[in-house]
Structures are given as structure tokens and as C-alpha cells.
Structure 1
């Protein structure tokens, strides 16, 4: 099934000014309650990360940051715990937090830099930030996790994998880079599994490998274009990995064909062929390229007549 056109890009609800210095208009996180002080602080920090005022690897030391935000350390601590539950920051009790994306938080908080991991054949986009808009839209469509297995493809240091685990899913993070997998393991609890995998081979990943056609959800964020044959891999995933009715979440930059980062509209239409398109939406542009999100479903098998 091909994608339908007409996705509407969601406008940013905030004015173009510094939220850390000037504040951000706050809307309730839930219609069922009024936002708390911690909610408002969490929004300001999230906005600062999404606009680049806070960069991957930046330490969030509680007392100086609380003074800068004109709040108490206890309120800031509650806000950081909120953001950690969404995968926006990595929080270590008693040691502060760090904006993820530049290695495991324990190395960054100790003030030691890690070595750069080897990059795949095609570069990942420079910004793989998990925005609040993406989190809210995806969580509303997925709901709480259950007993099924979720596989995060191109997991990197495991930021999105940990977010899925916080939603209640049993998660397995896969990456082609052994060093990234090592960093993800060091930054995650032992209940979250990771494995290196060669996505050019039609083999079952995991240690031990999971049985065929047992995965409930596969996620791939800004990584699908890095595979040599994205269409071939998504076909493998549909027939070998996913159970009937299982879902695939794809987040990708849209490419005009002149850059190796992202997928073209034609490539996305080809990938969607054979899937049931459940939802699609666009996020704000990243470095001049619109970011497209798709939630696809492996059609259930029809009973034999």
C-alpha cells in the first residue's frame, strides 16, 4: 500500500526565543490535571534541548541549573526524572543528568570523553534528538507496552531503546557498530538487551536469536537510509521478524536525492508497498530537511479457505 499525501507539518508552539532565559508558554501536559512547577521546568529544559541551546553531552548539574531557572533543586530533580522517563535526558540519582547522544552518561559525568565510534557507510543525521512532539504522537499511537518484543534498529547508544523500556516494552537494541552497542549496555539497566547485527544478512539477530515472526514492534529512527538495501531489509523484517499484525515505526529525513542522508518519496512509497499504513505525520525540519514518521502494520494472515 502506498503512502497518501497531505501530511501536515506541526508548527512549533513556542516563540523563537531562549526559554532558559525568558521562559516558555506552558500548556498542560495532561488534560486531566494542571501542570506542576516540575512540569513547567521540564518543558523549558526540553525546549532548550530541542532548539540546540543544550547540546548532546552537556551536563545538567542541579544546583547551578536550578539557580538559572529560578527554581528549587527538588523541583528540578522531579523535572529531570520526568525527562529521563521519556528518554530526553539520562539521569543518575545523586549525580545529575546529561543530554544523551555523546556516549554513556557515567563517562560524561566523570568528565572523561569517550573515543568516537566508527561511522557506518552512510552518515547518520547530526541530530537524532527525541523531541516531545515525536514522543507524544508515537506514544498515543502505541500505548503502553505489554509482553511482546520490541526491536530498536540502529539503536546507537540506546537512548530510544531506554525510552521504549520505560513505556513498558521488552526491548532489544540492535546496531551495526560494536562500540555503540557497548556504550548502550553501559548506559542501560541489565533488563535491556543489546546486540551487534549485520543488517545485510538474512539472519535472526539477538544473543540468543529470537524465534522468527515473534516481534511485535520494530523501530528505526533516522537509520534506515544507512542500510545498503533498505527495501530488502524491510521485506525481510516483515516476513521473518514481525508476527502477523506486528508494526514497524520509521522516522526518516526526506531527501531530494542530492544528499545521502534520508530517503526520497519514491523510496518511502516502495517501502510501504505490502504494508498497511496506520499513521503518518511530519515533524519540524532538521537541518533544512523535513522529517517524516510512518507507523506501518504487517497485514494479518488470512485464514485458509
Structure 2
């Protein structure tokens, strides 16, 4: 700030002061650029989580980034602003103190240059840590993307399965609806029958119906007794007829037995006659053969003598 005031006042700076001012400006620019890169890395991580709509399986790196002030964007900005203030406050003097010696400025510059070198080393370490952290975050992002790809594939399979289940339940619901409609129709018919039965029971619960039923029962009872007696008479008649038929069958069986005996005797006689006729026929055939032979012999004799 002192150097800025000296420039505004028109005081010419030496070469060391100009180089120190340039280095300070470059350091501030590098610090702002580093803070900007870290802020963009955080925004990229958050945007990837929002766009992918995937579950965050490991939040430890993000928590480390959020909870560690060493890598927090706003903490770094505050730290750099405090460092810049400490550098400028070293040289902060009153505007009227323009007679500060060049030797004291050079001594302060040398001490600040040492502090600046330490800060550069710390900044380099921070950059290396930041690079490793960004690399780790990239690995985590790639792993999250792979997991999200697997989840998308699983979700597609589950969606197809859910579609099949929905189609099955729709068909089942349709079948149940048809069955329910059929049951409703049957219930309506049963309710109509119930109303008819109720009306019939109400009609039968009257005295007129009871008297009518008694007369009807008496009539049926009389007809039953009449039918019973007629059935008894018919049964007796049929029993007598059956007995007569059994007697006739028994007589016919006896006659049939006698007839069978007669037939057996006649058959025996027939067989005897057949045997007798056969023996006689054989004898007659032999006689005929003998006569034929004799005729042949006589024919030969007549032929020879003739």
C-alpha cells in the first residue's frame, strides 16, 4: 500500500521495489486463481450430483473438503486477504511519512521476501494436496457414474418387471371385475327368489292357507288309504297268479323231463337203426360189386368166344 501511495504521490521507485510490487501482484493473482479453481471444482462436484440424480455412496471426500478450512474456498480467501493485509500492514505508514529511508524499506522487503518464499512453499504443498484431492474426487465421480450406470440397468429391469406385473394385475382385475359382475347378477336373481319365497311364506302363514292345506292333506290321506287297499288286493291277486304260474312251470318241467327221456330213447333207437341200415347197405354194396365183377368176367368170356 505504501508503494501504491508513493506511486500516486509521484515518487519514483527503485528496481527492487518495482520487482517486489510485481511479485506481490502475481502472488495475489495466483491466490485468487487457486481459490477460483477450488470453487469451480466444488461447483462441478455439486452439479454432477444434481444432474445424475444418483445416490451419493461415499460422502467422506466432500465432508473433508467442506470441513477442512485448509481447502475451503472462503477460508483460503480470508487467509489470503489476511496475508495480503499482513504484507501491506508491514509497510503501512502515514501518508505524510514520505521521508522513510530506502534502507528500512529494503530491510522490510527482505523479511517479507522470506515470508513470501515460505508462503510459496506452503502454496505449492496446498496445490499438490489440492491436485491429489481433485484426482481422488474424479475417481469417486467415475465410480459414482459406474454405480449409477448399474443402477440405471437395474432400474430398467425393474421397470420391465413392474410393467409385466401391472399387465398381470390388470388382467386379473379384469377377470375379477367380470366375476364380480356375474356374482352381482346371481345375487340379484337370488334376491328376487328370496322376495318371492318371502311373499309365499307370508301367504302360507294365513288361516285360509292352513285350512286349505288341511283339506288337501285329508284328501291325499284318503287317496293314500284307497290306493293302499287297492295295492293290497292287487298284491294278493298277483301273488295267487304267481303261485299258479309256478305250479304250471313245475308241471311243464316234469313234462319236459319225460319228453327229454322219450327223445333220448328215440335217439338211441335211431342210432341203432342207422347202424343196422349201414351194415345192410355195406352188404348190398359188396353184393353189387361181386355181381359187377361176375358180369365183367362173363363179358370177357363172351368176347373171347365170339
TM-score (norm 1): 0.15
User: Hey, which of these two has a bigger chunk of strand by percent?
Assistant: 1
User: Hey, which of these two has a bigger chunk of helix by percent?
Assistant: 2
TM-score (norm 2): 0.15
Structure whose CA Rg is larger: 2
